[in-house]
């Protein structure tokens, strides 16, 4: 399983729009779900596109009581949370792309919005290798917009 992250501000509801991009543009399919915005619990999504499934999302770094109290005193205070999406790609021959936009709606327009495009890789580790793997390597590219 791979995790994909987006940054949002905390509020009460989350609307996520997903577009899975296949090998050809004609294969694109759009999905939209309204999900509960709750901290640190798996929220089932269940979007399927061929051999790819967007299984669930978890909101990480939910504000604690101290953060919420600070926010009540300072109405301009912000707190960042992360969305961790769990997916599976059972297609051994093809990667897929997934573009998503997450919007936290407010009464007068969005309170927060973020988007991302990610690759849903075909390459998976064989289960028996988990016990012997000792590390993993991460590469980052960062640039100013």
Per-residue pLDDT tens for 12-37?
A: 356 677 777 655 544 788 899 999 98
CA distances from 78 to 7, 68, 73, 128 (A): 12, 10, 12, 43
* Domain assignment of residue 138, yes or no: no
Q: Structural domain tally of the chain?
A: 1
More confident residue, 27 or 97: 97
* Domain assignment of residue 134, yes or no: no
* Domain assignment of residue 136, yes or no: no
* Domain assignment of residue 62, yes or no: yes
Of 119, 102, 99, 88, the closest CA to residue 20 belongs to 99
Q: Provide the pLDDT confidence category of residue 7 given band limits of 50, 70 and 90.
A: very low
Q: Provide the pLDDT confidence category of residue 73 given band limits of 50, 70 and 90.
A: very high
- Structure confidence at residue 56 (pLDDT): 92
* Domain assignment of residue 46, yes or no: yes
Q: Provide the pLDDT confidence category of residue 140 given band limits of 50, 70 and 90.
A: low
What domain range includes position 103?
A: 2-129
* Domain assignment of residue 140, yes or no: no
Instruction: Report the C-alpha gap between 121 and 2 in whole angstroms.
Output: 9
* Domain assignment of residue 143, yes or no: no
């Amino acid at each position: 399983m791979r995790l994909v992250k987006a940054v949002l501000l905390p509020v009460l509801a989350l609307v996520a729009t997903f577009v899975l991009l296949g090998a050809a543009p004609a294969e694109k399919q759009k999905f939209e779900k309204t999900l509960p915005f709750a901290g640190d619990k798996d929220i089932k999504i269940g979007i399927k596109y061929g051999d790819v499934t967007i299984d669930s999302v978890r909101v990480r770094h939910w504000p604690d009581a101290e953060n919420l109290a600070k926010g009540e005193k300072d109405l301009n205070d912000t707190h960042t949370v992360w969305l961790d999406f769990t997916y599976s790609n059972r297609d051994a021959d093809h990667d897929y792309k997934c573009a998503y936009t997450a919007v936290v709606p407010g009464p007068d327009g969005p309170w927060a919005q973020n988007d991302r495009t990610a690759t849903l890789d075909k390459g998976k580790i064989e289960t028996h290798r988990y016990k012997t793997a000792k590390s993993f390597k991460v590469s980052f590219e960062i640039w100013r917009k």
